[in-house]
Chains A and B, each alone.
Chain A
Amino acid sequence: MHAIKLSADVAMAVARGNRRWTHGLIADLSKKEDNKSFLKCILGKQYERLNMPCYSSWKIQRCKTILRRSFRERFGKHKPARACSLARSMVKKRAQVLKRLVPGGEAMDGYSLLDETMDYVVCLHAQVDLMRQLLRAFEASKLRSVRHPIIPFFVLLLHMF
């Protein structure tokens, strides 16, 4: 059952506000048919706006001739692999992987990718913490007597304050 995960993701994306990765995340989630109605309900008016094609998977438009030329260059001359080009290719590969990980990352260049990654990491971290606390609270409330389920929440609240 992915209901919890879905709602968690939506919650995180909505909570964070306007970032590229949030738009990407919502767009990814709304690709599935089952989630569409749910998302519509949650987002309301924003759903229509967010579902525009500019927010869904949009890859950086690269000029075909430039690509062709660089391709030819790379495979035309077989240069010995220099350290710098090797390092660059390594970084490039990892950047590709990161782009796939971060929602909406395909459409970002290197700099904004790092930015969005930072933000995404912070939010993910917070989400994990939250879920852990919830889990703890629920389990605690289950273990204790039914009479006093509110204690863990009180404790949590006091702790926060």
Chain B
Amino acid sequence: MQCLRAPLSDLSVLERQRTRAEWQQQGQEQSDYHPYDADYCMQSLLPVEASFRALHSCSGGGANENHGNVHGSNDCFSNAWPDIVSSMHCPVVGAAASVEETSVNASSSSSSRKRKSENTRRSKENSGGSDGKDDSNCKRIKEETGGGGGAPPEAKRPNKRKEESADASKENDKAPKSDYIHVRARRGQATDSHSLAERVRRERISQRMKYLQDLVPGCSKITGKAGMLDEIINYVQSLQRQVEFLSMKLAAVNPMMDINIDSFFGGREINPTCKSGSIPMIGMSSELLDQSSYLQFGSLQHDMFMDSSDLLLRPNVNPPAAVSDTSLGSCLNVNGSSVWNTNLQNVYGVEFQLGRGTALPFQSLQGNLLPNNLKMEM
């Protein structure tokens, strides 16, 4: 028997559990989850296009709601991510508030707690035993701005089938508002702390595998981790090979001149804050400039580019946004930089400008265009 070492949940969690119990008694399909957390952890799981669209459409609704009324956003969330919706047990209220306030907030990984409901309805704090394991399971709170840092936040908990009522929460008066993953033992399964941790870990991994399945083409039929990993490996290898092949082709298309990098960058002061500042120094060769009078086009875009050069500094909030916008920006960059480089005789990677595209002038367009861009690009 394991004793209660410390009080676990706070009142809000208590309420949430109660409401959850009520809903489930009423036959509600979705369990309780916090819309803020849902919204915000949606942002971290971006690669899936459909869900991304849903995120955009639902983020407005989700952001406006508070604790109680989650029905509105339930539907749209459930459309896109039924898994997450059904498993949304975001326990942290304070974390959500902090997410709201600060944009980049990489919280230190705290130990996750497990709470199990037993017959006696005692809960158990499990910080000690599962600390080592739970570094990967920890829910980390942060909003992904340009990819915050560390692992993406894991705000979802695996869905536990409710066996006991929410009375188990009565014992827990207060818990510090931190990121804990609350897990409830399933009926008929071991309530050992280790096995719970294992189960949480396994379910998170299987979640990830599902997303990867959507990402990698032709994986819908494959079940099992080994086969999936095989496909993933093949896909990554093929993508890498394609990148190499395309870079060679690009090199063939553009006559590249040998440059001595040191002399090239020698006396220049590169403004570290403005990443794009280095772009002007890297430009098209004069040859190319002659061939294709980019200047014309470039001057058109130049103003736009300059105006938005301050935007280039901002970290990317949405990875897919950044990623898809590179396509948009690449053309502009190709031309915009040429304006500055009329005198430069050296060429460096045309490809280099690809990357600049992320911090794009077109961040304003991201919201609406992103799905379209994604669709087009991918």
Contact = CB atoms under 8 A, between A and B. Distances in A.
B254 interface: yes
Nearest to B253: A138
A141 interface: yes
Nearest to B104: A18
Contacts of A20: 150-151
Contact of B330 (A90, A110, A130): A130
Contact of A150 (B150, B230, B296, B316): B296
Contacts of B162: none
Interface string A59-90: 00000000000000000000000000001001
Interface size class of B (residues with CB under 8 A): 35 or more
Interface size class of A (residues with CB under 8 A): 35 or more
Contacts of B348: 3, 7
Interface stretch (B93-101, B114-122, B234-242): B234-242
Interface stretch (B14-22, B28-36, B75-83, B320-328): B320-328
Interface string A9-35: 011111111111010000000000010
B211 A15 contact: no
B5 to A, nearest CB: 27
Contact of B246 (A43, A131, A139): A131
B232 A117 contact: yes
B256 A3 contact: yes
B161 interface: no
Interface stretch (B123-131, B191-199, B353-361): B353-361
Contacts, number: 259
B222 interface: no
B146 A18 contact: yes
B152 A115 contact: yes
Main secondary structure of the interface of A (DSSP, over half): helix
Given A4-B251, A4-B349, A132-B246, A15 B136 contact: no
Interface in A92-126: 94-95, 97-98, 101-102, 109-112, 114-115, 117-126
Interface in B201-248: 201, 204-205, 208-209, 211-212, 215-216, 224-226, 229-230, 232-233, 235-237, 239-240, 242-244, 246-248
A91 B216 contact: no
A90 B226 contact: yes
B330 to A, nearest CB: 6
Contacts of B350: 4, 7, 134
A126 B324 contact: yes
B319 A17 contact: yes
B335 A118 contact: no
B236 A126 contact: no
A135 B246 CA distance: 8
A160 B327 contact: yes
21 contacts: A1-B251, A3-B256, A6-B349, A15-B354, A17-B319, A18-B149, A37-B262, A41-B265, A43-B272, A98-B233, A111-B151, A114-B209, A118-B215, A120-B236, A121-B235, A123-B323, A126-B378, A133-B330, A135-B253, A138-B253, A160-B376
Given A15-B358, A123-B319, A130-B330, 8 more contacts: A12-B354, A17-B147, A18-B147, A20-B150, A44-B272, A122-B320, A126-B327, A154-B297
